Each structure stands twice: as C-alpha cells, then as structure tokens.
Amino acid sequence: MKTQRKNMNRFVMLRKNEGFTMIEMLFSLMILMTISLFVLQLFTIIQTQIGTKNKIHPKEWEIFTLQMQQEVRSSKSQDVVGNKLFLLSGEDLSMIEQYNDKLRRRVNGEGHEVILQNISNVEVEKNGDVIEIHITDKSGKNFIRKFHPFLKNQLVADE
C-alpha cells in the first residue's frame, strides 16, 4: 500500500483553508482606502465648483487687491475715465476695465489679462489721490477697496 505523501509547502496548506490570509486582507484594505481617497477628492471638487459658480472666491479677491495695490503704487499717474482705470507706469499705459463678467487688464490697448471673474458690476472712482473700486459679483455680494498711490516726499532745498 502506498503511503500518502504530505505537501510540506505552507502556502499550499493555507490555500486549502476556506478563509483569507493576512496578506489578502491587507491588499483588500489598501484597494478600499485608495478608492475612498479618490471618491472623497471627487466630492470636494464637485462641491467647490457648485459653490463658487457665481461668487468671487475670497482668495481670488485677495490676489486681485494685492496686484492692484502693487500696480497703483508703482504707477506715475492714475486716472479714471468712463468707469475705466488708467495707470501710467514708465512708458506703458495699463487700462483696467469690465469685459462681460470679467475685470480685465490691457497694456497699451493690447492683450486681455483676466484679473477677476464672476462679476456683474464695477464702479471706479478717484477722490483726490485715492482710487476706490466697488465690485458686485453675480450673487449680489459687494466688495469695496481703496488704493493709495505711493507718494514720494520731495524736499525743496532753500538756496
């Protein structure tokens, strides 16, 4: 009579059991966590797109005000004509104007640099040296900011 030969390989013996091994469980958990991560990111992106469709994002407003402050301070001359802001810097004349639902910047009458979007109305005023911009976004929220040009103190020496 032949004796039955036992298989000494451990992995083969574990396969004969009807359960999962620890490696299989860790692999399944890794796949589940990866899928969960992508689904969570997808929901975050969808919520962000729906929430800011008609609004000015706070970070976008902050970047706009910092750029405008830098441009106004570096300009030699500022003027407002017909709700458009004209800034003279060196030999370049920059114009800030509303174009559809965007606020755009043009240099020397050329280009189309969008500096703010999702707006419904823009009002630009100049009171003395102070430039005041009133912006209303598509949802009806108002934003107001005042910009002061950089004034150089000129000392007159007595001769």
| Residue-level pLDDT, tens digit, the chain, 159 residues | 555 555 555 555 555 556 668 888 899 999 999 999 898 888 888 877 665 577 888 888 999 999 999 999 988 888 899 889 999 888 899 999 999 889 999 999 898 999 998 899 999 999 888 999 999 988 889 999 999 887 543 333 443
Closest CA to 51 of 137, 142, 143, 145: 137
Residues 75, 119, single domain; the answer is yes
70/30 same-domain check = no
In a domain, 5, yes or no: no
For 81, the domain range is 58-147
List % helix, strand, coil for the chain (3-state, nearest 5): 35, 35, 30
Element housing 133 (H / E) = strand 130-137
Phi, psi of 53, rounded to the nearest 5 degrees: -65, -40
